[in-house]
Amino acid sequence: MIIKNYLKNPLKYTILAFSAHGFLKWMPDKPYLKLMFWANMGKRLNLRNPKTFSEKLQWLKLYNRKPEHPGMVDKYEAKKYVAERIGEEYIIPTFGVWEHFEDIDFDSLPDQFVLKCTHDCGGLVICKDKSKLDKEAAKSKINRCLNRNYYYSGREWPYKELQPRIIAEEYMEDEATGELRDYKFFCFDGHMKALFIATERASATEETKFDFFDENYEHLPLTNGHPNAPVLPEKPVNFEKMKELAGVLSKGVPQLRVDFYEVNGKIYFGELTFFHWSGMVPFEPEEWDYKFGQWIQLPKD
């Protein structure tokens, strides 16, 4: 399949491969985003008059850079930012923060915990039984992420100067679902318009499922990156409260995805995301890219 896709469009897959291996780091942000948008989305990027959600996210990367944004995406600093605005009770407890894997005092950690890199997406180690943790595999994964600057792949500028660190958090799992489900709210200057729920993320045999809903929890007929679940996830108990909190956290921001977990009836903050999929994954059908785009009011200054 890989060879077939390459032969079908060799230029596209060459560009994607060059980017994945870091060969395009030398390119300035604007031409890089135009090139990657074409390779990922199959069309030219319109920055002069952006209409779609995907186009507007690229515009925001280039022209809406606020000093507070890096602290909002750093997984350690974001906890302080969120606690100041909605309260400490929504924050997952942190056991420690370190710059190097070798500095982690595993003896002080409980039997179950989660390790995360604070500066990227993907640096995650879930430990359900400390006695069975493969520390060498965990070290290899974490160190790989510590050496990666997440900014270069999608030019999401808030990540560029973040200090790479590791945090250990409390392990959480909802008793009703048997997993830790993400409730990801798309907000536009304080107004929540849609969300998606990620399910089956921990499954070794099933692809992750994404299901989109509107502000009234009506299922939306679209896909974006992953298929819908065969059985739709139930409405979270705290749906209305999560909507309210997401609105508070996104006030004053043209577009912000606010992620929460619901664990045994209680809400916990997940993360803040300025650029869902980096704006580089198509909506199907495409009309939803335009509908989401209509909700973003780009700053005039």
| Same domain for 152 and 52 | no
| Same domain for 300 and 229 | yes
| Same domain for 281 and 187 | yes
Q: Is the pLDDT of residue 3 over 70?
A: no
The answer to whether 180 and 173 are in contact (CB under 8 A) is: yes
| Same domain for 213 and 259 | yes
| Same domain for 186 and 166 | no
The answer to the question of residue 85 being in a domain is yes
| Same domain for 108 and 143 | yes
Q: List 284's β-bridge partners, or say none.
A: 223
Number of domains in the chain: 2
| Same domain for 271 and 200 | yes
**Domain final residue, candidates 155, 171, 187:** 171
The answer to whether 237 and 265 are in contact (CB under 8 A) is: yes
| Same domain for 133 and 63 | no
| Same domain for 205 and 71 | yes
The answer to the question of residue 209 being in a domain is yes
Report the pLDDT averaged over residues 244-251. Answer: 98
pLDDT digits 0-9 by tens, 119-176: 988 779 999 999 999 999 999 999 999 999 999 999 999 999 999 999 999 999 988 8
| Same domain for 200 and 228 | yes
The answer to the question of residue 152 being in a domain is yes
For the whole model, what pTM was predicted?
0.94
Cα–Cα distance for residue pair 161/230, rounded to 1 Å: 41
**Domain final residue, candidates 171, 191, 210:** 171
The answer to the question of residue 10 being in a domain is no
Residue type, 259: D
DSSP 232-300: PPPPPTTHHHHHHHHHHHHTT-SSEEEEEEEETTEEEEEEEESSGGGG-S--BSTHHHHHHHHT-----
| Same domain for 231 and 300 | yes
**Domain final residue, candidates 171, 193, 227:** 171
Residue 38: both structure tokens together: 């074409």
CATH number of 249's domain:
3.30.470
Model pLDDT, residue 206: 82
In terms of residue numbers, what domain contains 278?
46-90+174-301
pLDDT digits 0-9 by tens, 50-92: 999 999 999 999 999 999 999 999 999 999 999 999 999 999 9
| Same domain for 210 and 284 | yes
